[in-house]
Structure 1
């Protein structure tokens, strides 16, 4: 479960790290995933505080709720994180469509390591809350949750370079990944308004879209298009 929930995290890290100088990208991915690991372990160690974030801080009147809408610390974090994810992904799509990212040469500018790490830390915190709250519903033992997080991060560290290379080599896959991140951002914003969406539907849609795109990529690589034979009926 931690690996599945960490897919969106590794996609985001792979995309933002691409803004670094190529010589720094592997280091940036490693630092980003290690920070994600430390943040999740730290939050797991303060699990009672995280659970307490689900308690309302104040109430507001909203037209769709029968009672006063209780705004919690979790709602605020998910709302800000969702907006950040939507804004960042939209900016990346705009940059990609404008061709600014693909412009090579001595004039090409790269982001600083510090700026990229700050973005990774911000989104790590949001994804960590989502991951930990899901884990709390599955098990009660904090040590088991920490072990699951460590194992999932080890798997992601091993395959992060492969995932990043695949995403960045295929523009359509990158555009699809950015669209996924926008969808996840919208989901986080909706959750902040207590409109829960079954995550299984989200991940199924992502998997189905990816499968269709992989089939399209294979079709484009073929020298001759697939010819469909006409069916004749008597």
Structure 2
């Protein structure tokens, strides 16, 4: 194939791609500033002080297992059992530090196992969410609400948000390359001085897109 023919083919492909982007009103951020690291968030539990006292004993001190992506937060050595109407799941880690309200984060698959239909929510928004029980070494708590599926989200500092050209609570799309490439939509931007740049997805999303947690994914607005 001669060079002129190759150039014509490349031009046609480029034009087709640009037309597709324009037709779907997708804006691709400059590649230099478009990629975010991703972490896979397995099922876990955040505890408020009163519930920690019941499950582990008064003023119990949780032991760090490993740091997670957000400054000051860590997965604990301590684990609990979460119980739904159908089944239970053992060895679910506590994530510290303690919070104002207890929250259990699971995947949709976990919900099927437990016999629950947790709503997709922002972290901390547990009003009207699924009931669930938690069993620890010292006791048990039965929550009328508190079990959610965390929404796909990206933590950013204000400087990161400026770099990416996005705002707090904005919804964006994420492009995944590789063997199971695709687009993840309804990804929420969360901006705070306390945050480090990182995207959080659950195990269902990770499996669907063959994500290992070592990738940098492209942000699309």
Q: TM-score, normalised by structure 2?
A: 0.22
Considering fraction of residues, name the structure with more helix. Answer: 1
Considering fraction of residues, name the structure with more strand. Answer: 2
Higher relative contact order (CA 8 A, sep 6+): 1
